[in-house]
Structure formats: C-alpha cells, structure tokens
C-alpha cells in the first residue's frame, strides 16, 4: 500500500500544521496510510492551538526521498516553499488556497480554492466524503481559519470560511471569538524573540518573473515595539539577503487588532515594489495602510509589477 | 456580474467540448453567467454525439482578451494547449485530469483528479453541489467518458469513470455499450480525410524540459488503411515540423477495438523517444504494443526521458 507523508510549507503556520494533521486523518479514514509531518517546529500561535486541543506536534522532517512514501502537499504548491528534495518525490495530492506555480509529469489530485484557508477546503472535502471530524481536529482546523483570517477580518476571508469556522467551533466545543482572541494573542509574543527568529516566523520565497523575492510577515499588537527594533531588523534582513541572494526582502509588520501594516525593505532596486503600491520607500520603510494579507494584497500586485518589466 | 467563457483545449475532442458545455451549465446553475465556447470545430466523433443528443456545437473563438470575460479552462491547463491570448486573461476555474503545468498570480478554483475523464470530475461536482444533470448534458458527458476511455478499455479508466458513465447513461436514456460502439466508429472515418486533417484531429504540444514536442493521435479500426498512407503522413508531419519548429513529432495510430498502437516519428534526434520506450525507431516507425493512452502511457515516460537529459 502506498504510504503518504502529508506536509505544508516551510516556516509552518497554524493552517499548514492543522491542515497536514486534518488531511492525514482524512486519507487514513479513506483507507490509506498517511502521516502528518512538518518542515519546521510550530510557532507560538500553533503551539498554543496544539496544547489547547491536546494534540501532538507532527514530526519534523527535512527530506523524504528514499523513504518510498508518496507525498501530499497542503497549504502550498510552489517548490521554493516546499521540502528541499521535492523534485525527487511523487506528489499525489495538493490541497491549497494559494496562487499556483506547479508542474507535474503525471496527473494528480489537485484542489485549490480561492478562499481564506486550506482548512476550509478540507472542511468541504470531509463533508463531501461523509467523514466526521473529531473534536480535536475540528479545533485545529478552526484555529487555522482564525489564524489565516485574523479572526475573520482579512480580505481573504470568505463566507465559506466563516461558515466552516462556526461549524468547527461547535464540533470543537469552543466560542470562536473568545478562543480566537486568545489564539492571536499567543502569536504576538515578540519581545523574547531575536530578529533572525522574527524574520522566519512566517516567511516565504517567490520567483516573480525570474526575480527572487522574500516576503516575511509578523503579527503584532501595535507597531511601537517593532519600530523600536527597526535598525536591528534591517541589519538581520541585509544578512539574509547576502546569504541567500534575494533580490528583494520585504518584512510586513501587521497590527492584528487594527488591521494595518507597514513594511521594512532591503534590496538594491525597490522600483517594482514602489510601482506595485504606488508610493515611495523612505528610509527603507513603506506604509501599507489597510494591508493585512500577503496573499491577497501583496503578492498579486508585486507579481504583476515584476511581470510588467 | 462576472461573465465566464468556458473552453477546453485546441483540437477539441469529445471530452473538451462536452465538459465545456457541462461546466457552463454548472456555473449558470450556480448563478453565474457562463457560455461554453471552443477553440476549434468538433471532430466527427463529437459531431455524432452533439447530433445524437440534439445539442448545438459551441461557438468557435480564437481570442478572448478585451471581452471583459473571465475564463474557465476544462480538460487542459497548459498554456501551449490553450487560447493564444491566455496570458492576458483571468483564469478563475480549471477543471481537468491531466498533468499540471500552470502558473497564476492569484488563487483560483483548480480541481484536477487522476481519473479518466474531465466529465467524471464534473459528474462528482454536480453531485456535491446537488445540481441535477439534464438528459442532454448527461448524454454528452457519457460520450466524453466513452471517448477518453475507449469504452472503458484504456488504462486511464478508473472505477469512478465507469460508475459515472453508468449513472449518466441512465440519465441520458441510452445503453452505454451500444451507444459507445456507434460513437467510437463515428470517430474512425479516416478515408475521406487529408493527411493534414488527420494530424490535427487530436494533437497536443508539450514543453518537455525545454524540448518542444508534438504528439498527435488517430483512432482507427485496424492499422492497414493508415500504414498504406505512411509516406504521405510522414511528409505532412515533416512540413509541420518545419513550419512550427517542433523538435519531435510523434503520430500515434491506435486500434480502438484491439487496444494497440504504432507510432510515426519525425525529428532529428529520436534518442529520448527510444529511451522512453526501450526500443528503436525503424524507418520512422515505432511499435507501441498495448499502448492506447497518450496521457498515461506516452507523455509520462517521454517527459521523464527528456527530464533525465
């Protein structure tokens, strides 16, 4: 029987880890042998959710070639965000809600929907297959939707995400608003973290028309703590740019209560970024009023801006 | 309201046209405004199905930019098989069952399953959405499954395709075996067709690791008629290679009753092809015993063979 390793993107967030656990459960219920794994340790928000619902963190792996297992990707599809040896693996499933940059030699099961959260896609798949969702997994899937939608405030959030979250909250036996605020707060404990850690809490690499772009995001309550660390953050970003060869590194700091962001920027040529948002980078800083979603409000205009070159 | 144009691949086959009609109906039932269109005129098999179920052939279009419509791709996803101005369009849906080579700036609805026919994926989606399938559309979807599976004999055919076909035959009020043989025979009326026409009945272009490959397939009853036209076919293939710059042109002739094929080959370097199938091209001809499926038995080994270079 084919064995499956199920995992989300590097720098795992709550949706990536919850969706890996949920989809591994789904595959097992369908009669397959599947294990949820992760490409990194859970962040504090995810650790809070795992602890709250008494779930174990998945095993961390760095490679999968040679295990004989096929793989299922959740919450991502681009090779640059996935396991290093992806090219040597057979991908049988992709469940996602991001832009697509994917190539395969064989047909596979690929399901992407333009909604707020991979866990919402999985919620629909459980329903279609008539598989009941246990309370623990429902709680983790609810956490994923709250995390990705910033408690339903992000423009990525759709009515399907809200409906799924309400149903999952009932299954999990929690109040979505009360639990949700506790979950988001658990993810904004930034003072104890080094600049290097902050830059990798939730960071993704993109190939935009041949330009290597890194976009990290940090959720905060208010901007003052991180503005006070601006010089140290820029220095750490510069070090990563030099080490990894990124053409542009954008750190987006988002106030989760106020639904607002600003960006810190390292890169020789910031003109594509300035064109994407119609304003100037001043002192390596860019205002991003009303922006909370990397996927919906940052990646598309920046992709278009690089494509227009 | 967003208007949708729904279309399949160039050189349309029965699945491409039936799935465009079915998915346009699905979107309209969901409250959208959708029109099925096609990138070419129906072949004789598809014309037989449209006539049998008293359906109109979709309007032929060559471009869609400037119409304001968004698009839904069915039965394909690769730009090389799609409308010429795809890069200028917004793709909101892909429903498919082929290997994936796709890139988007935005998330979209993408559903691919590794099964025999796009119409089978759509059959599942109708069921999930609780939308009834009218007899006429059920007949076209059944025709698509019969065509893609060579009446359930192709290795691409899965139990899900067989189950969907039986249910659709009931909805359409026909016997799948009796109707299916008539449909396949309608598609093998080759004597009246020019070599240029035969080469474009069901042809697709692929970018395999930077190599431009053209693979055409013709269904026949027995091999003798087409073997008698070998020199003329090779001459027409050579002309297409020179006009379009293909590196390799493979014409696969498939006996639909005997489930067997041979290939005719034009190209300077046939070593990747020979490596893929473990045998030599002799007099521009390649035996392909037991091969009936381009997607499952030709594209994957050839893709792997070019990737290994």
CB contact under 8 A, A299 and B105: yes
Confidence check: pLDDT of B191 > 90: no
| Domain housing B183 | 3-188
Q: Does B31 share its domain with B129?
A: yes
Q: Which of B97, B107, B128 has the CB atom closest to A112's CB atom? A: B107
User: In which band, very low, low, confident or very high, does the pLDDT at B64 lie, cut at 50, 70 and 90?
Assistant: very high
Of A170, A188, A206, which closes a domain? A188
Q: Are residues B51 and B199 in the same domain?
A: no
Rounded Cα distance, B256 and B182, in Å: 12
Element (H, E) at B69: none
**Phi/psi of residue A39, each to 5°?**
-95, 10
How does strand B211-220 pair with strand B248-255?
parallel
pLDDT score of A192: 85
pLDDT higher than 90, residue B2: no
Identify the band that residue B109 occupies on the pLDDT scale cut at 50, 70 and 90.
Answer: very high
Q: How many domains does chain B have?
A: 2
Residues facing A208 on adjacent strands: A211
Subunit contact A114:B111, Cβ cutoff 8 A: no
pLDDT number for residue A309: 82
pLDDT of residue B63: 95
Q: What is the pLDDT of residue B221?
A: 86
The reply to whether B267 and B179 lie within a common domain is no
Residues 68-127 of A with CB under 8 A from B: 92, 97-115
B248 and B177 in one domain? no
User: What pLDDT is stored for residue B202 in this prediction?
Assistant: 87
Which range has the worst mean pLDDT, A113-117, B93-97, B121-125, B289-293? B289-293
CA–CA distance, A239 with A194 (Å, rounded to integer): 14
Last residue of a domain, one of B139, B162, B188: B188
Same domain, B88 and B171: yes
How do the pLDDT tens digits run along chain A, 309 residues long?
789 999 999 999 999 999 999 999 999 999 999 999 999 999 999 999 999 999 999 999 999 998 999 999 999 999 999 999 999 999 999 999 999 999 998 899 999 999 999 999 999 999 999 999 999 999 999 999 999 999 999 999 999 999 999 999 999 999 999 999 999 989 888 888 999 999 998 899 999 999 999 999 999 988 999 999 999 999 999 999 999 999 999 999 999 888 899 999 999 999 999 999 998 999 999 999 999 999 889 999 999 999 888
Task: Kindly identify which residue of chain A lies nearest to residue B129, measuring between CA atoms.
Answer: A128
pLDDT at residue B295, rounded to an integer? 85
Q: Residue B188 and residue B219: Cα distance in Å, rounded?
A: 6
H or E stretch at A5:
strand A3-7
The residue count for chain B: 309
Contact B97 A108 (CB under 8 A): no
Distance (Å) from the alpha carbon of B30 to chain A's nearest alpha carbon: 15
| Distance, CA of B71 to CA of A52 (rounded, Å) | 44
B72, β-bridge pairs: B6, B93
Closest CA to A281 of A264, A305, A301, A306: A264
* A88 plus A201 within the same structural domain: no
pLDDT tens readout for residues B235-292: 999 999 999 999 999 999 999 888 899 999 999 999 999 999 998 999 999 999 999 9
**What is the 3-state composition of chain A as percent helix, strand, coil, each rounded to the nearest 5?**
40, 20, 35
DSSP A228: T
Distance CA A259, CA A193 (A): 23
Same domain membership, residue A115 and residue A64: yes
Q: Are strands B260-266 and B285-288 parallel, antiparallel or unpaired?
A: antiparallel
> For residues B2 and B69, what is the distance between their CA atoms, to the nearest angstrom?
7
CA gap A287, A270 in Å, rounded: 14
The CATH number covering residue A233 comes to 3.10.310.20
Residue burial A223-244, b: 16+ Cβ < 10 Å; e: rest: eeebeebbeebbebbeebbeee
Sheet holding B260-266, edge to edge: B203-208, B211-220, B248-255, B260-266, B285-288
Q: Which residues of A34-59 are buried (b: 16+ CB within 10 A; e: fewer)?
A: bbbbbbbebbbbbbbbbebbebebbe
According to the 3-state scheme, what is the secondary structure of A266-305? ECCCCHHHHHHHCCCCECCEEEECCCCCHHHHHHHHHHHH
The answer on B106 and B225 residing in a single domain is no
Q: Which of A188, A219, A241 is the last residue of a domain?
A: A188
Q: What is the pLDDT of residues B196-228, one digit of tens each?
A: 999 998 899 999 999 999 999 999 988 999 999
Q: Output the domain CATH number for residue B69.
A: 3.90.1640.10
Give the separation between CA A240 and CA A235, rounded to whole angstroms.
9
Can you tell me the ipTM of this complex? Answer: 0.81
Q: At CA B294, angle to CA B288 and CA B299, rounded to 5?
A: 95
The pLDDT assigned to B38 comes to 98
Residue A109 shares a structural domain with residue A72: yes
Q: At residue A73, what are phi and psi to the nearest 5 degrees? A: -95, 130
Q: Is the same domain home to A59 and A178?
A: yes
H or E, element range at B7: strand B3-7
**CB-based contact, B155 to chain A, within 8 Å:** no
Closest chain B residue to A307 measured between Cα atoms? B105
Best residue of A77, A105, A108 to probe chain B, by most B CBs closer than 10 Å: A105
Contact (CB<8Å) A111/B106: no
A contacts of B106 (beta carbons < 8 Å): 99, 114, 300
H helix and E strand count, chain A: 11, 12
A117 contacts in B (CB within 8 Å)?
Answer: none
Residues B60 and B119 in one domain: yes
Do residues A165 and A199 both lie within one domain?
Answer: no
């Amino acid at each position: 029987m084919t064995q499956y390793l199920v995992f989300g993107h590097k720098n795992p967030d709550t949706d990536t880890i919850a969706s890996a656990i949920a989809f591994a459960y789904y595959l097992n219920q369908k009669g397959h042998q599947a294990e949820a794994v992760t490409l990194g340790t859970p962040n504090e928000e995810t650790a809070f959710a795992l602890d709250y619902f008494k779930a174990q963190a998945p095993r961390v792996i760095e490679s999968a070639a040679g295990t004989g297992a096929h793989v299922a990707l959740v919450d991502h599809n681009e090779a640059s965000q996935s396991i290093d040896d992806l090219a040597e693996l057979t991908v049988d499933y992709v469940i996602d809600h991001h832009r697509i940059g994917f190539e395969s030699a064989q047909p596979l099961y690929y399901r992407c929907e333009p909604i707020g959260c991979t866990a919402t896609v999985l919620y629909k798949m459980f329903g279609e297959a008539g598989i009941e969702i246990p309370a623990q997994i429902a709680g983790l899937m609810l956490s994923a939707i709250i995390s990705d939608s910033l408690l339903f405030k992000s423009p990525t959030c759709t009515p399907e995400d809200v409906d799924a979250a309400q149903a999952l909250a009932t299954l999990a036996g929690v109040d979505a608003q009360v639990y949700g605020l506790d979950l988001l707060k658990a993810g904004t404990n930034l003072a104890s973290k080094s600049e290097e850690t902050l830059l990798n809490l939730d960071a993704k690499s993109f190939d935009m028309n041949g330009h290597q772009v890194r976009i990290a995001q940090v959720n905060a309550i208010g901007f003052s703590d991180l503005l006070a660390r601006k010089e140290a953050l820029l220095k750490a970003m510069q070090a990563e740019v030099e080490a990894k060869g990124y053409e542009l590194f954008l750190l987006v700091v988002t106030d989760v209560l106020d639904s607002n962001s600003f960006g810190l920027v390292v890169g020789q040529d910031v003109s594509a970024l300035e064109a994407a948002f119609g304003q100037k980078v001043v002192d390596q800083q860019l205002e991003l009023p009303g922006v909370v979603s990397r996927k919906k409000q940052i990646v598309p205009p920046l992709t278009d801006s690089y494509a227009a070159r």
